[in-house]
């Protein structure tokens, strides 16, 4: 039967993916053991071992969850012989000859100027209208090209589709902090865009919850009781606090703070930064190199230091949400408004609430020695979510995280831009004025990086910490240069 063939094809593809990822995992182990903890370092983009382009090759635990697989009856065959789920990719027929069909239907063309999706040319049926998407730069002068999309890390002032014509709109998607491209710290850098898809709530298409798979993910029951965690401290010689970081000396200056904190409380540090403890040998076995095995190990810790690479509102990564998922208490540095996005505002220890690392250490020790007070921070695991805003955002977002049942945030942003173009077309046909869209600093901007008044981290140089201050100033110069180049 046809549905049986679809089911077989789906699981054959899944087996191939699992086999490929397993091979990458083994190769990573052969390459070296230093990076075996980087699954907790997710969400920081290109450029370092921990970053978006490198990162962990462990099989994500969501792949192993049946609920993440799309139902077989949602798959359909395209005219090129490939199977797809329309709810996930929004692709419509024809695939063969898509450009010619788009021209025939007078559809808007949207070009990825920085190749990001690998899109060679397909029509996507969005919510207001259809658009043709491609990364073919030869379409720059095509009369039906209406928008150019850019991925922030790869955005370069030296490589732009200029001149920007009046009917051209620019869209920026960037889930990372300005660490990856300092031009976005500045108003001048943001004003050139019409549409944005960033971590900021004020973005045109906000993805502030990009690292929250679901409410169920955050509320996962505790693996270990407080008493069991206390026993792990005694039997395995674990500290109460763990730090897992391999991207050292970022703009948030987190390593300098942790180094100072270490003067007042014991911290087990497994990453490249401030490394003082190795993983158990059993976790270096390729057969056990899966997220769940690592998570179960770190769930033994009562506290996890969850410091972002930048201090910016709404910039929240896997560092915090995976710690919430595990049920350890996060010690957090990053988005000052983090509590807006948690099931319970009491579930986190915010560094900014303390005058000094010494004061913070005293508070951690107090909680560590008083189980009843410590467990108050974990009440959400049994009482459930108490954050109506978070619940509403998760329910209403069009896109999904690590799921085969909803489109991802990039496809969502593509359709957002496509639909805005169609809405203006409809306004024009109705004799109404079209709307002008323009990004502002609030769509992305973060404050200038600052250094903590602590000594340099051993093994680093002062210039490494100051580099981000120079980068900020350089981004300003680039942004101004770009605006002049565009004549705006």
Q: What CA–CA distance (Å, rounded) separates 224 from 234?
A: 15
Average pLDDT of 199-215? 98
Average pLDDT of 165-185? 97
Residue 170's pLDDT band, with cuts at 50, 70 and 90, is very high
Q: Is residue 32's pLDDT more than 50?
A: no
Task: Residue 315: name the closest of 411, 207, 155 by CA.
Answer: 207
Q: Is residue 399's pLDDT more than 90?
A: yes
Which residue has 């951690």 as its token pair? 364
CB 404 within 8 A of CB 69: yes
Residue 458's pLDDT band, with cuts at 50, 70 and 90, is low
Per CATH, is 215-387 categorized as 3.40.50.11660?
yes
Residue 284's pLDDT band, with cuts at 50, 70 and 90, is confident
Q: Which residues lie across from 169 on neighbouring strands?
A: 147
Taking only the tens place, the pLDDT of each residue in 414-431 is 999 999 999 999 999 999
Q: Is residue 17's pLDDT more than 80?
A: no
Q: Is residue 272's pLDDT more than 60?
A: yes
The confidence score (pLDDT) of residue 70 equals 56
Task: Residue 198: name the closest of 313, 60, 304, 94 by CA.
Answer: 313
The confidence score (pLDDT) of residue 52 equals 34
Q: Where are the domains of the chain?
A: 82-209+397-487, 215-387
- 3-class SS at 176? coil
Note the helical H segments in 49-175: 86-89, 98-104
Taking only the tens place, the pLDDT of each residue in 365-393 is 999 999 999 999 999 999 999 999 999 99
Taking only the tens place, the pLDDT of each residue in 336-347 is 999 999 999 999
Residue 4's pLDDT band, with cuts at 50, 70 and 90, is very low
Average pLDDT of 197-204? 98
CB 393 within 8 A of CB 208: yes
CB 416 within 8 A of CB 437: no
CB 369 within 8 A of CB 343: no
CB 269 within 8 A of CB 37: no
Residue 464's pLDDT band, with cuts at 50, 70 and 90, is confident
- The count of residues in the chain is 488
Q: Quote the tokens at residue 207.
A: 């993805």
Average pLDDT of 53-75? 46
The confidence score (pLDDT) of residue 160 equals 98
End-to-end CA distance of the chain: 61
The confidence score (pLDDT) of residue 72 equals 60
Quick check: bond before 163 cis, omega within 30? Answer: yes
Residue 463's pLDDT band, with cuts at 50, 70 and 90, is confident
| Cα 96-100-101 angle, rounded to 5 deg | 80
Residue 71's pLDDT band, with cuts at 50, 70 and 90, is low
């Amino acid at each position: 039967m046809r549905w049986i063939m679809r089911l077989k094809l789906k699981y054959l593809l899944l087996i191939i993916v699992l086999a490929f990822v397993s091979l990458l995992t083994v190769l990573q182990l052969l390459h070296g053991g230093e990076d075996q903890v980087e699954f907790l370092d997710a969400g920081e983009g290109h450029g370092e071992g921990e970053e978006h382009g490198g990162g962990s090759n462990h099989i994500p635990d969501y792949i192993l969850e049946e609920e993440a697989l799309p139902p077989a009856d949602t798959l359909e065959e395209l005219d090129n012989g490939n199977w797809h789920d329309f709810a996930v990719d929004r692709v419509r027929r024809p695939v063969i000859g898509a450009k010619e069909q788009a021209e025939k239907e007078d559809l808007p063309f949207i070009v990825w100027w920085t190749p990001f999706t690998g899109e060679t040319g397909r029509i996507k049926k969005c919510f207001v209208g259809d658009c043709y998407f491609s990364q073919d730069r030869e379409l720059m002068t095509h009369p039906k090209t209406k928008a150019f999309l850019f991925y922030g890390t790869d955005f370069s002032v030296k490589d732009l589709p200029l001149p920007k014509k009046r009917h051209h709109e620019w869209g920026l998607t960037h889930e990372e902090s300005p660490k990856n491209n300092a031009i976005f710290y500045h108003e001048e850098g943001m004003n050139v865009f019409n549409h944005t898809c960033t971590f900021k709530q004020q973005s045109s298409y906000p993805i502030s919850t990009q690292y929250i798979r679901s409410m169920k993910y955050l509320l996962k029951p505790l693996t270990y009781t407080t008493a069991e965690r206390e026993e792990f401290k005694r039997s395995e010689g674990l500290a109460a606090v763990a730090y897992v970081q391999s991207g050292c000396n970022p703009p948030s200056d987190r390593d300098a703070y942790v180094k100072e904190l270490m003067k007042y409380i014991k911290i087990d540090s497994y990453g490249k930064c401030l490394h003082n403890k190795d993983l158990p040998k059993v976790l270096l076995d390729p057969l056990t190199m899966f997220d769940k095995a690592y998570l179960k190990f770190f769930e033994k810790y009562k506290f996890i230091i969850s410091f972002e690479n930048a201090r910016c509102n709404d910039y929240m990564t896997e560092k915090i949400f995976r710690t919430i998922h595990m049920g350890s208490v996060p010690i957090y540095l990053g988005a000052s408004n983090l509590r807006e996005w948690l099931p319970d505002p009491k579930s986190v220890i915010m560094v900014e609430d303390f005058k000094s690392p010494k004061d913070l250490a005293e508070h951690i020790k107090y909680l560590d020695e008083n189980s009843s007070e410590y467990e108050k921070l974990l009440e959400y695991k049994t009482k459930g979510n108490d954050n109506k805003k978070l619940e509403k955002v998760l329910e209403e977002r069009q896109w999904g995280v690590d799921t085969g049942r909803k489109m991802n945030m990039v496809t969502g942003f593509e359709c957002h831009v496509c639909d805005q173009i169609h809405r203006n077309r409809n306004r024009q046909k109705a004799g109404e004025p079209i709307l002008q869209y323009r990004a502002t600093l609030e769509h992305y901007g973060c404050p200038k990086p600052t250094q903590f008044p602590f000594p340099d981290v051993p093994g680093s140089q002062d210039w490494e910490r100051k580099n981000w201050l120079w980068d900020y100033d350089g981004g300003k110069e680039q942004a101004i240069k770009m605006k002049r180049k565009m004549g705006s």
